[in-house]
Amino acid sequence: MKLLETARQLGRRSILPVMYRAGIPALMTRLYGDSLTIACYHGVTISGSMPYSGRHLPATTFRRHLRFYRRHFNVVSLARMFELVERNEPVDKPTLAITFDDGYANNLEIALPILEEFDCPATVFLSTIVFEAANHIIYADVLDILRIHGPPSGIVVDGVTYRRGRGRDMVSETGASLYERLVECMPNERDRIVDQLLERYDVRSIIDKEKIQYWRLLDSTGVVRLDNHPLVDVEAHGHGHYLLDKIPRGDAEADLIRCKTLFREKLDRDPEVLAFPAGSYTRQTIELARKLGFRYLLAERYKTPDDGDDPHLLERVSISGSTNYYSNILNYAFSLRRSNRIKQ
Ligand SMILES: [Zn+2]
């Protein structure tokens, strides 16, 4: 296992830069000149969010991404991307849209000035809970912070002790993942466990003491500022970031209605696009979202090959902050092969 990890590290540090400098990503953009792809980011901070989380990139790396995109792609807004697919419009260059999930404050404070620098449009998918709970911490970030700064003896949830496991997870003695448990559990249960963890381990004091910044979400003023910016669109990521296909249909419906209501109250409009939290959906989730007026939907990866025939459901390429620039760009370049291509 250790050998495999060493080989992977070696690959990232030496082989991938060689592949990059040999022009492979640029070659892929020429080979797949009709590709339409959507990049999925979470955040950009001064120095990234490792070792806590792989969801945020260092600003210098994000700047390199945009420089690469500007050179090799047409960078368009997500609205334009859906329009291209809907109208079956041919493109003269690989075309890319940029998205950010969850609504982190750094989207406004750090990513936006870099987007402006390169004149790149982006869409921010907001969990509307930010409008209701000031200083809300996403459950994944609570776990990440406790993994690094929690008691060495592990953290206890409902009598079960979870300790730092391999990678970025916390596992019980029987190998059960706390992260997976929280991702998949019912809304009330997840909220109860997270509240318990925040209180029992005094997560907010840890944040203050360690001066942890990356977890901060946008506040209402920040959302409005992003929404009014000519380069940015704000769209929906549900309300409480629950897996809409795993919770009861009634809860999923209530979550999406809450999300829509808050868009109306705070931004004076309906959201048009829904990015499924954690990319999790089924046919029923799609039908529910459509019934509630979400015209366009975003997956991470399609769940069935037929999903690719639906011009209003597009997939995205995840960008990771836990790997280096070369790895992300090569991964992106290879993803052009399976992109939302227009059938001409
Ligand atoms: Zn999300």
- Note the pLDDT tens digit of each residue in 155-190: 999 999 999 877 778 999 999 999 888 888 888 899
Q: How many domains does the chain have?
A: 2
CA dihedral 56, 62, 65, 67 (to 10 degrees): 170
Write the single-letter amino acid at 307: D
Instruction: Please tell me the distance between residue 241's alpha carbon and the centre of ligand 1 in angstroms.
Output: 6
User: Ligand 1 center to residue 89 CA distance, Å?
Assistant: 30
Residue 26 Cα to ligand 1 middle (Å) = 30
pLDDT at 310 exceeding the cut of 60: yes
Residue 162 belongs to what domain range? Answer: 139-210
- Quick one: DSSP state of residue 119? T
CA of 74 from ligand 1 middle (Å) equals 26
Tell which residue, 335, 337, 329, 341, has the closest CA to residue 25: 329
Residue 318 belongs to some domain of the structure:
yes
Say how many residues make up the chain.
Answer: 344
**Which comes out higher in pLDDT, residue 290 or 309?**
290
- Does residue 47 belong to any structural domain of this protein? yes
- Provide the token pair at 180: 């997976």
**Average pLDDT for 218-241:** 97
Residue 186 lies in a domain: yes
Instruction: Give the pLDDT of residue 342.
Output: 56
Q: How far is the CA of 158 from the centre of ligand 1 (A)?
A: 26
Question: In the Cβ-directed half-sphere of 122, how many Cα atoms lie within 13 Å?
Answer: 28
Taking the centre of ligand 1 as the mean of its atom positions, its distance from the CA of residue 337, in whole angstroms, is 25
100 with 245, same domain: the answer is: yes
Q: What pLDDT is stored for residue 343 in this prediction? A: 47
Q: Poorest-confidence range of 43-47, 139-143, 204-208, 303-307?
A: 303-307
Which residues have beta carbons under 5 A from ligand 1 (an ion)? Answer: 101-102, 277
Q: Note whether residue 38 is domain-resident.
A: yes
Summary mean pLDDT of the chain: 91
Q: In this structure, is residue 221 part of a structural domain?
A: no
Q: Identify which of 311, 321, 270 has the alpha carbon closest to the alpha carbon of residue 294.
A: 270
Residue 242 lies in a domain: yes
Pairing of strands 36-41, 317-318: parallel
pLDDT at position 3, please?
A: 67
Q: How far is the CA of 204 from the centre of ligand 1 (A)?
A: 22
Residue 313 in domain: yes
Compute, in angstroms, the gap from residue 47 CA to the centroid of ligand 1. Answer: 21
**Tens-place pLDDT, residues 184-199:** 888 889 999 999 999 9
C-alpha 218 – ligand 1 centre gap (Å): 14
Q: Find the mean pLDDT for residues 284-291.
A: 96
Same domain for 266 and 199 = no
Which residues are CB-neighbours of 143 under 8 A, at least 6 positions away? 170, 178, 179, 182, 197
Distance 15 CA to ligand 1 centre (A): 31
Nearest to 51 by CA among 149, 182, 139: 149
Same domain, 180 and 155: yes
Report CA(315)–ligand 1 centroid distance (Å).
Answer: 14
